[in-house]
Structure formats: C-alpha cells, structure tokens
Amino acid sequence: MAHDDSTPGFFTASLEDVAGLFRKGSMWPVTFGLACCAIEMMATASSRFDVARFGMEVFRASPRQADLMIVAGRVSQKMAPVVRQVYDQMAEPKWVLSMGVCASSGGMFNNYAIVQGVDHIVPVDIYLPGCPPRPEMLINAMLELHKQVQEQPLFGNRRAIIEKVERAALDATPVSQMKGLLA
C-alpha cells in the first residue's frame, strides 16, 4: 500500500494490492500427502506450529474448495494421473508447492516407478527441499508463496505462463504416461 502525499493521513491501495492481500490471507490447501513428508505437513496444522495464523487452517478434502496443492512425498507413475486430475479440478487461481526432495526430483528413487519431479505433471510455484522437510520449513515456504501471490497482478498473464509450462511438462513426459494424463 502506497502513501499518497496529496491527502495527508490517508493510505491508498490499488485493486491489485487489495486482491493480493485477500488471496494470500485465504489460501486453502488440498489434502494430498503421498509419503513420509505428509506426516510433517500434518504436523504443520497442529497446535505446536499453528498454520491457522496464516489463514491456512483448513486442509480441504475436495479440490474444488482448494487453491493450493501441497504435493508431499514421492509420486508414483500410477499416482501421476490422479495428481493431474486433482490439479485440474482446483479453482483458478491455483498454486502448487512441491514438498520434499522426492516430490521435487524423485529423490533417491531413480527408477521407472517414480516420477522424477512433480513438475512433469503440474506447474510448480515453490520447491521445498529436505527429506523430510520440517514443519518450520513448510511454513517458511508458505510465507514465500504468500509473497508471490500478493505481488501477482490481478489481471496478469498467469494462465498463459502456466499453459506454456504445462505444455513443456507434457512434452517431457513419455507417450505412455500422456495417455493417462490427457484422458
């Protein structure tokens, strides 16, 4: 919010500033834990770490009510179409946080059964390293995402950027997997 010198004592804010404030203060993550990182994600919602102070206390079970997907843990090839389906069912604008080294790059599981990074399936906004990352690290990543959300233009070209990233991810995915993702 900028201070306007022509009217002393009053603050002015643009529509984008206000919308960014509302967006960052009302993010609801979708429940999507796949492996051991999910335990740390659940601990973040406990009273000790209290993610509710950031407006994120409600982990939604329905993707239609969520705007943040936290992919916590390794993503198997069989689970990849489900991750994509949940992402597609989320309302716009939506964001993705990749939690843990397995979700970000496949981790130590460099084999045919594990997707080598969730960014091959959905566009990722924040990568959180660690095996498993602590709840404090997840809160820090959420705060970084809040900064990105607040600075994002209201009527920007986010959809065009996401479509470009999604197309690159689909181009990098083997043909056998694309049948499941595009169906």
**3-state secondary structure at position 16:** helix
The Cα 97–Cα 88 span in angstroms is 15
Angle between helical axes of 158-172 and 175-182 (0-180°, round to 10): 140
Two tokens, residue 164: 């470009």
Contact partners, residue 158, CB within 8 Å, separation at least 6: 93, 152
36 is in an annotated binding site: yes
181 is in an annotated binding site: no
27 is in an annotated binding site: no
67 φ/ψ angles, rounded to the nearest 5 degrees: -130, 5
133 is in an annotated binding site: no
Annotated binding residues:
36-37, 102, 131
Annotated binding residues for [4Fe-4S] cluster:
36-37, 102, 131
